[in-house]
Amino acid sequence: MRTMTYPRVHKLLVSLLLLSLSTVSWAISTEEEIQLGSQAAAQFEQKYGLVTDPAMVGRLNRVAGAIVQNAERQDLPWRFRVINIDAFNAAAFPGGFVYATKGLMQGLTDEELAFVVGHEIGHADFRHSIKQLESAQLRRLGLIAVVAGAGGGNVDGNAATLVQLTDGVISSQYSQGDEAESDRYGMKKMAEAGYDPVYAISALRKLAAQGGGGTPDFLNTILGSHPLPKKRISQGVELVKAIPFRPQVSQPVAPSSPGNERLFTDASTALEYTLSLLGQNHRSSLQAQAEDIALGRRASAPRGTRLVRVKSARNLGLSGLENTLLARSEFDRLGQAFGAAVVDAGGGQIEAVVLLQGGR
């Protein structure tokens, strides 16, 4: 009787093990996802501690509650807590365990916090960490097959546990695609909850100003151990324009100072704030020149500047005017100096006059 050669035994084992990759499902169930997230969250809390201040915790749950009611996955036990870290950061673990640091809570407005919370909810809603783990399981099985072939068919028990799932949750790091998907999700969900998505840009700018996340052992946080790439701000500006948002109508307020009855100073200030959130830089000299053009005191834009003028129905308030203005391609460039004025254009319309200079 012919004896099977040693190499052929290896090849047969490898073939059988690789065949199992195509016949066995390695998807992680929702129950397993929640268990893994719970274990990772427990380690996170044990390492850093929780903030129990009722006002801070209540604020997080109020903002998060408005966002999560529109989450795609209502089968998760969503939980929101404040972690006792001074640095800016936020984290989401599988199963709906979401954290904001104490520093983040102290440094962001409610609107900015709504974006960050929505972003983190997005990671859990899209199962980003779980998809990484499922992929890692397949890679691990392939490695087991190789080990079996190299070891004469004796699979080392340690090889079968090379990837510990909980540690995988902690040490995973979101891809650029995951981050972009969660940015878009966060903007969409904050808009659905009534928060203007333009505040996502100011949140990203604040995050980009941070040097690091302050939680290097837990890489699947919004910052990880590295600063937020500034490229995401410019990408965010484009995303904001595509997010449908219907705020409550906010009428411009007429000025109290005589002589400039057509100039809406409160609306001009609000427009200035919006453009600043979007990465533009207000300059008082350009502001004065924009007002002169808006009021007819000056016929043309100064040399080296670019003039943008748009009109909108007055009954739509400032939000209608801003939506029309920000659809213009002139605002795709970041870092421009600007001045902005809002005036009564007559005939039931208001007009925004913006002077732009420089930028990148």
Same domain, 232 and 286: no
- Cα torsion angle, 117, 119, 120, 125, sign: positive
Identify the pLDDT of residue 99: 94
Same domain, 173 and 61: yes
Residue 251 falls inside a structural domain: no
Judged against a pLDDT cut of 90, whether residue 144 lies above it is answered with: no
Same domain, 34 and 180: yes
In this prediction, what percent of the chain has a pLDDT beyond 70? 74
What is each CA distance from 152 to 11, 20, 141, 143, in whole angstroms? 10, 19, 17, 14
Q: 293, 306 in Cβ contact below 8 A?
A: no
Residue 25 falls inside a structural domain: yes
Starting from the edge strand earliest in sequence, which strands make up the sheet with 79-83, in order? 79-83, 97-101, 90-93
Name residue, tokens 């748009």: 310
Residue 254 falls inside a structural domain: no
Domain boundary among 191, 211, 246: 246
For residue 330, give the CATH number of its domain.
3.40.33.10
Q: Strand, helix or coil at 251?
A: coil
Judged against a pLDDT cut of 80, whether residue 160 lies above it is answered with: no
Identify the pLDDT of residue 248: 57
Same domain, 184 and 308: no
Q: What is the mean pLDDT of residues 273-301?
A: 89
Domain boundary among 198, 213, 246: 246
At 99-114, the pLDDT tens digits run 999 999 999 999 999 9
Identify the pLDDT of residue 61: 95
Q: What is the mean pLDDT of residues 232-249?
A: 76
Confidence of residue 262 (pLDDT cuts 50, 70, 90): confident
Within 10 Å of residue 24's Cβ, how many Cβ atoms?
Answer: 9
Q: How many domains does the chain have?
A: 2
The contacts of residue 127 (CB under 8 Å, 6+ apart) are 33, 94
Residue 222 falls inside a structural domain: yes
Same domain, 269 and 236: no
Q: What is the mean pLDDT of residues 44-72?
A: 94
Q: 250, 319 in Cβ contact below 8 A?
A: yes
Same domain, 280 and 323: yes
Domain boundary among 246, 278, 310: 246
At 190-231, the pLDDT tens digits run 999 988 888 898 888 888 887 666 676 776 777 765 567 777
Between the CA atoms of 9, 14, 19 and 21, what dihedral angle is there, to the nearest 10 degrees?
150
Same domain, 72 and 101: yes
Query: How far apart (Å, rounded) are the C-alpha atoms in residues 358 and 300?
Result: 18
Judged against a pLDDT cut of 90, whether residue 83 lies above it is answered with: yes
Strand partners, 338: 282, 356
> How open is the CA angle 69-189-108, to the nearest 5 degrees?
100
Residue 236 falls inside a structural domain: yes
Same domain, 172 and 42: yes
Same domain, 84 and 149: yes
Identify the pLDDT of residue 172: 62
Same domain, 241 and 284: no
Residue 253 falls inside a structural domain: no
Within 10 Å of residue 229's Cβ, how many Cβ atoms?
Answer: 13
Percent of the chain as helix, strand, coil, to the nearest 5 = 50, 15, 35
Q: What is the mean pLDDT of residues 305-310?
A: 94
Identify the pLDDT of residue 356: 95
Same domain, 232 and 274: no
Residue 102 falls inside a structural domain: yes
- Cα torsion angle, 104, 96, 50, 53, sign: positive
Average pLDDT of the chain? 78
265-269, 289-293, 303-307, range with the lowest pLDDT: 265-269
Give φ, ψ of 93 to 5 degrees.
Answer: -110, 155
Same domain, 175 and 73: yes
Identify the pLDDT of residue 9: 45
Query: How far apart (Å, rounded) are the C-alpha atoms in residues 330 and 25?
Result: 51
The domain containing residue 160 runs over which residues? 1-246
Residue 13 falls inside a structural domain: yes
Q: What DSSP designation does 335 have? A: S
Answer with the residue of higher pLDDT: 319 or 287. Answer: 287
Judged against a pLDDT cut of 70, whether residue 333 lies above it is answered with: yes
User: 243, 248, 245, 240: which is closest to 316 by C-alpha?
Assistant: 248
